Amino acid sequence: MQLGMIGLGRMGGNIVRRLLRDGHEAVVFDQNPEAVAALVAEGAVGATSLEDFVAKLSLPRAAWVMLPAGTITEATVKTLGGLMARDDVIIDGGNSFYKDDIRRAAELKLAGLHYVDVGTSGGVWGLERGYCMMIGGDTAALERLDPIFRTLAPGVGDIPKTPGREGRDPRAEAGYIHAGPSGAGHFVKMIHNGIEYGLMQAYAEGFDILRHANSPDLPETHRFDLNIGDIAEVWRRGSVVSSWLLDLTAGALAQDEHLTDFSGFVADSGEGRWTLNAAIEESVPANVLSAALYARFRSREEASFADKMLSAMRKGFGGHQEPK
């Protein structure tokens, strides 16, 4: 199947590579000509402008926008909406605000266009591991795009089946779901990222307590000089707190137990804030998630070892670099 990709950064470029490896066709565009040239060398068809991009797609077209949420995505979707034809599909795979998806879908529907929002998780590891996808949009568009989603998803793999799921939608076990109408995909991904904040904060604070177990403030007989790299490693193996985030933590600590390359300045990309806004609108208490977001705010004033741990995890799963 053919897919167009706009935005060839850490995730957009690797999504294209995963599709090409499975025999799909790709038309690519990015403001950086070198990013386009790199994928052309791997088998993609390059475009020099959005107009050229649309012209090189076969009807009915499918164009995936993988750009930062906000102004650039809004402008790109609007431009595509004016260039594409009835029954074409515009996909936003970034981290857009779900209410923007609902509005865009309604606007594009007036021109006969489909709009699909894909909450995409997998970070820099998605090329090899696959991408977990939470998808919003109409059923007809999703059915047409299913070959794309099947290739991008991790697949069933060796994860044990969940008892009691017999007869339910098999796509969830493969790593992607039709979450609901337009906006539902990014809403689910938004909550996913809010939970991610909380999980990361719990690991970071726990390891910070372990690291300070030999504090001079403690009675000498109560001090422990702990190897936190070994603790992270042993917890990976059979403990109830094992996870991919713990795997990344163990890897970072194995390289440098003091995390000296990290300042501890921890950014937030918006989804944590939006998650709390949703909690407020729904009158749902979210004590842990709100505390995790506020901890990121505090990290920008005075960094702790826990903040360095958060930075290390963010770099591990998403390639996020600390601000200079």
Backbone angles phi, psi at 30, to 5 degrees: -155, 155
In this structure, the chain runs to a length of 324
Write down the catalytic residue from 128, 143, 189, 257. 189
The side-by-side arrangement of strands in the sheet containing 132-136 is 45-46, 25-29, 2-6, 62-65, 89-92, 114-121, 132-136, 176-180
- DSSP state, 264? -
Catalytic: 196? yes
Write down the catalytic residue from 196, 205, 271, 315. 196
Closest CA to 246 of 206, 302, 186: 206
What distance in Å separates the CA atoms of residue 36 and residue 160, rounded to the nearest whole number?
A: 39
- Unique residue bearing structure tokens 């705010």: 297
Q: What is the crossing angle of helices 12-21 and 33-40, to 10°?
A: 10
What distance in Å separates the CA atoms of residue 209 and residue 218, rounded to the nearest whole number?
A: 12
Secondary structure class of 60 (helix, strand, coil): coil
**E strand segments, the chain:** 2-6, 25-29, 45-46, 62-65, 89-92, 114-121, 132-136, 176-180
Catalytic: 233? no
Q: Which residues contact 61 (CB under 8 A, 6 or more apart)?
A: 4, 54, 84, 85, 88, 89
How many beta carbons lie within 10 A of that of residue 221, not counting itself?
A: 5
Whether 309 and 249 have beta carbons less than 8 Å apart is answered as yes
What distance in Å separates the CA atoms of residue 283 and residue 63, rounded to the nearest whole number?
A: 37
The residues that are catalytic are: 189, 196
